[in-house]
């Protein structure tokens, strides 16, 4: 090590001896300081380079912001021809799920949807032609599949969203961080976060107003409301003790179910079932097999979907402990499509009806 030469020969000591011993180190330190200064200058030069690039970029940004990244009402490549006037009421101001106010002069023509439920809503109300980008998980409806993809639900690929230059981005409640980031880039973001059936209807209505599709949306919402009340009114008459005990198997390994405040939990109750996990502390709790056996559900619903790893209804008999359950013994184990069950979108009426048919086959044909 250059510098502190000749020191290792000296022995230890106290006071003055140590000061004398330190003197050569101080002299060496002076030389070292000069070298430090050179190095510090080099670092400053590098930082200056970064600063120059940053300033250049900032200048670029200032020039860019003038044009804006959100072509309000003009940018994007929406398909031609929205269907006939559907009661649009522009200009309007709405409040999204964050409590943020958004103003619209005209209906947005280049919408990006960041969540599958949002995509379903936009297409069912007839705003499909106004959509230019959807997330990777949006697999319904089939008409949506040709749209550009902007990345996953988490994370969305922000570059792709920006490239499409949307005049509106619709995000889900979980995606607040991305909503903030996109707004920082000058995009208009609307957040919807329905947690109950009523809130789903309100979200559909909101998106209908914003996209200028109020008439079609009113039809959709009325239809959902009628179907929902058809189910709830019929099960209202069923006494509590006659309601089947239900276990919704969200995942099998680990065994996971839905809590009372989750959307699916609420659907189960609305369809006249008694969720055996209704006292769970969280929305998607892991459940113990012992509790499952102790509470003995009469109906088991498996969120199997397209997952090849999911247990088939028939397989459950072979799993340890399951053979004891009433549901397994009576063959009331059913597989459902998790996309339909878990998305807070227009298909919740389908979900509710499906659950009601499983719980009360004699009441709902």
Partner 1 sequence: MMPRKGAAGDQAAAGDLAAAVLRRRRARRALIAALSLALLTVGVVALTVGAVAIPPATVLRCLFGFLPGPGPAPDPAQMAIIVMLRLPRVITAAIVGAALAVAGAILQALFRNPLADPYVIGASWGASLGAVAVMVSGISVSFLGLSAVPIAAFLGAIAAVLVVYRLAREDGALPVLTMLLAGIAVGSLLSAAVSLLVYFADRRLHQVVFWMMGGLGGATWAHVAVGLPYLAVALGVAFFYSRELNAMLLGEETAQQLGVEVERAKRVMLAVTALLTAVAVSLGGPIGFVGLVVPHMVRLGSGADHRQLLPAAALAGAVLLVAADTLARTVIAPTELPVGLVTALGGSPFFIYILRHRRRMRFFAGRGG
Task: Name the site residues for partner 1 (rule: CB under 8 A).
Answer: 1-4, 7-8, 10, 12, 21-22, 25, 29, 32, 35-36, 39-40, 43, 46-47, 50, 53-54, 56-61, 63-64, 67-69, 136, 149-155, 157-160, 162-165, 173-174, 176-178, 180-181, 184-186, 281-284, 286
Question: Closer CB to partner 1, residue 162 or residue 351?
Answer: 162
Least distance from partner 1 to the Cβ atom of residue 183, Å: 11
Backbone angles phi, psi at 187, to 5 degrees: -90, 155
Is the bond preceding residue 254 a cis peptide, omega within 30 degrees? yes
Contact yes or no for 232/349 (Cβ under 8 A): no
Least distance from partner 1 to the Cβ atom of residue 70, Å: 9
Question: Closer CB to partner 1, residue 76 or residue 272?
Answer: 76
Question: Closer CB to partner 1, residue 177 or residue 330?
Answer: 177
Least distance from partner 1 to the Cβ atom of residue 138, Å: 14
In the numeric block, which tokens belong to residue 67?
């044009």
What stretches of the chain adopt beta strand conformation (E)? 92-95, 101-104, 111-113, 131-134, 148-149, 168-172, 189-192, 245-249, 251-252, 255-256, 274-275, 299-303, 333-336
Least distance from partner 1 to the Cβ atom of residue 59, Å: 5
Least distance from partner 1 to the Cβ atom of residue 240, Å: 28
- Environment class of 332 (CB within 10 Å of its CB; exposed 0-12, middle 13-18, buried 19+): buried
Question: Closer CB to partner 1, residue 221 or residue 263?
Answer: 263
Question: Closer CB to partner 1, residue 136 or residue 315?
Answer: 136
Least distance from partner 1 to the Cβ atom of residue 360, Å: 30
Question: Closer CB to partner 1, residue 82 or residue 168?
Answer: 168
- Identify the DSSP state of 82: P
Question: Closer CB to partner 1, residue 63 or residue 236?
Answer: 63
Rounded Cα–Cα distance for residues 312 and 331 (Å): 12
Least distance from partner 1 to the Cβ atom of residue 225, Å: 26
- Identify the DSSP state of 243: S
Contact yes or no for 249/286 (Cβ under 8 A): no
Rounded Cα–Cα distance for residues 211 and 229 (Å): 27
């Amino acid at each position: 090590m250059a510098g502190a030469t000749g020191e290792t020969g000296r022995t230890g000591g106290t006071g003055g001896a140590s000061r004398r011993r330190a003197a050569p180190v101080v002299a060496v330190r002076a030389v070292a300081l000069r070298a430090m200064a050179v190095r510090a200058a080099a670092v400053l030069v590098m930082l200056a380079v970064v600063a120059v690039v940053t300033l250049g970029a900032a200048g670029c940004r200032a020039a860019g912001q003038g044009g804006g990244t959100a072509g309000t009402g003009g940018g994007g490549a929406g398909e031609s021809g929205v269907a006939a006037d559907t009661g649009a009421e522009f200009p309007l101001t709405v409040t999204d799920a964050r409590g943020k106010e958004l103003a619209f002069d005209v209906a947005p023509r280049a919408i990006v949807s960041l969540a599958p439920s949002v995509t379903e809503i936009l297409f069912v109300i007839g705003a499909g032609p106004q959509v230019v980008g959807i997330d990777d998980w949006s697999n319904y409806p089939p008409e949506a599949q040709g749209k550009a993809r902007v990345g996953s639900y988490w994370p969305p690929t922000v570059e792709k969203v920006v490239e499409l230059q949307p005049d509106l981005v619709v995000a889900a409640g979980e995606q607040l961080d991305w909503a903030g980031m996109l707004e920082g880039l000058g995009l208009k973001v609307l957040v919807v976060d329905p947690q109950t059936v009523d809130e789903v209807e309100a979200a559909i209505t909101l998106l209908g107003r914003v996209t200028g599709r109020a008439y079609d949306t009113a039809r959709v919402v009325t239809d959902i409301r009628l179907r929902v009340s058809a189910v709830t009114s019929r099960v209202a008459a069923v006494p509590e003790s006659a309601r089947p005990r239900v276990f919704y198997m969200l995942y099998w390994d680990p065994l996971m179910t839905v809590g009372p405040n989750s959307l699916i939990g609420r659907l189960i109750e609305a369809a006249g079932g008694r969720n055996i996990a209704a006292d769970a502390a969280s929305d998607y709790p892991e459940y113990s097999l012992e509790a499952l056996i102790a509470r003995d559900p009469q109906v088991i619903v498996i969120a199997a979907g397209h997952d090849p790893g999911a247990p088939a209804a028939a397989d459950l008999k072979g799993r340890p402990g399951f053979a004891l359950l009433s549901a397994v013994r009576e063959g009331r184990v059913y597989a459902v499509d998790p996309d339909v069950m878990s998305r807070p979108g227009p298909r919740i009426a389908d979900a509710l009806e499906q659950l009601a048919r499983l719980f009360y086959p004699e009441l709902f044909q």
